[in-house]
Structure 1
Amino acid sequence: MTDATNQVLEFELGEETYCVSIDYVTEIVDVGELTSVPNSPPHVEGVMDLRGRTTSIIDPKVVFDIGDEGEAARIIVFDPEIAGDDQGAVGWLVDEVYQVSQVDPGNVDRSPTSEDVRSIKGVVKRDGEFIIWVDPTAIRTS
C-alpha cells in the first residue's frame, strides 16, 4: 500500500478526517455556483466551470453515507489523467481542507471494510486518531 510520494491531503467530511494521495490533486478552490445536471446519480451535485474546463462536482458524503454534519466550503479538484481520464475533470465537495502530510506506510492499516469497499485504501493511525484514506479513482461520476 504505497503511493509514489506517500504524501496525502487531509480534509474533513462531517465529523471525520479523510485523506487522498496528493498525487491526484491539482488544486483546491472555494465552492462556487453549481449547475445541476438532470438525471445524474445522487452523489453528483452538478458541474462548474473551472478555468474553462467543465468539472463534475461530487459529494463524497453521499458516496460514503455520511450525515449532513458540516457544510461544504471547499472543492478538491483531481487530475483527470490520474483520477480516471474517462471521467473528465472531477472535484469533491469537502467541509474543510487541513494540510498535506507525510504518511508512514507502517501506520496504515487495511480496515476490515477496505477489503470490501474499493474506495477505502486503509486507515492511517496518528496521534491517537484515525484518518480514513480514500481512493478517488474508485468513485465514478456515472
Structure 2
Amino acid sequence: MDDEKVFQEEEDTQKDKYLTFSLGEEVYGIDIKVVIEIIGIQKITVVPEVPEYVRGIINLRGKIIPVVDMRLRFKRDFREYTDRTCIVVIEVNGVLIGLIVDGVSEVLDITEKNVVPPPDLKASQNKYIRGIGKTEEGVVLLLDWMKLFSEDDQEMFDEMNADTAENREAAE
C-alpha cells in the first residue's frame, strides 16, 4: 500500500509540467513526461525518401534517432540552425524521436484550470494543439504529442530504428 502511494506521488511530480520551446514568436509546451533529454543541434544524416519535415537521423550514444524539424512539421519556412537550436528527444509509443526547435525555454507548471481548448480555426496545425495554457507571460500552445505523428510516420520511425539496429547487428 505504501509503495502505491509513493508511486502516485512520484507520478504527480510530472503532472501539469510542460517543457516550453519556441518556434519563431510562438511558445509551445510538451508534457515533461515524454521528454527524455535536450541536446544541441548536431550532425544529421539525411535519409532518402522521407517527408521533408523529417530531416534525417542522428546517432545519440549508439542509438539512432529520427529527427523532425518542427517548423517544417507545422508548414513554416525553414530557418537555418543556430547555437540556440535544440533537439528535444521525446519517446512516443516506445520510439525515440528528436524534435528540432528554435530554442528551449523552461519547464512551466500549468494546471488544468489554466488550460482552455484551442479555438476551432480549422487549421491543419490546430489538430496538434491539445490546449492553450495561460501563464503570467502570455499563452503557451500545448502540444498533443500523441497526434504529432501519423500512424505512417510511426511506422517509418520504427523502420528507421529497425534498419539501423539490423545494420549494427550485422556489423558486429
TM-score (norm 2): 0.70
Check 1:10–1:128 CA distance in 2 against 1; reply closer, same or farther (3 A cut).
Answer: closer
Q: Which amino acid aligns with 2:45?
A: T
Answer 1 or 2: higher relative contact order, Cα 8 Å, separation at least 6: 1
Shift of 1:125: 1.3
Paired with 1:69 and 1:122, the residues of 2 have a C-alpha distance of 26
Question: Residues 89 and 26 (structure 1 numbering): CA distance in 2 closer, same or farther, change over 3 Å?
Answer: same
Over 3 Å counting, the alpha-carbon distance change for 1:9 and 1:43 in structure 2 is: same
Once residues 49 and 133 of structure 1 are traced to their aligned partners in structure 2, the CA distance between those partners, rounded to angstroms, is 28
In our comparison, the structure showing a higher alpha carbon Rg is: 2
Residue of structure 1 equivalent to 2:130: 121
Q: Identify unmatched segments of 5+ residues in structure 1.
A: none
Give the residue type in structure 2 aligned to 1:24. Answer: V
Larger helix fraction of residues: 2
Superposition pairs for residues 11-26 of structure 1, below 5 Å?
A: 11-26=21-36
Instruction: Indicate conservation of the 8 Å contact 1:10/1:19, yes or no.
Output: yes
* Partner residue in 1 for 2:77: 67
> Which residue pairs with 2:59 in the alignment?
49
| Map 1:1-142 → 2, pairs under 5 A | 5-68=15-78, 71=81, 73-79=85-91, 83-85=92-94, 88-113=95-120, 117-127=126-136, 129-140=138-149, 141=153, 142=156
Structure 1 or 2: more strand by fraction: 1
* Matched-pair contact (CA < 8 Å) for 2:72–2:78: no
Shift of 1:71: 3.9
Number of equivalences: 134
In structure 2, list runs of 5 or more residues that go unmatched: 1-13, 157-172
TM-score (norm 1): 0.84
Q: Distance in 2 between matches of 1:5 and 1:32?
A: 31
Give 2:39's aligned amino acid: V
Q: CA RMSD, aligned part only?
A: 2.1
Do the aligned partners of 1:13 and 1:70 also contact (CA within 8 Å) in 2?
A: no
Residues 70, 106 of structure 1: alpha-carbon distance in 2 compared, 3 angstrom cutoff: farther
* Aligned partners of 1:9 and 1:21 also within 8 Å: yes
SS of aligned partner of 1:36: coil
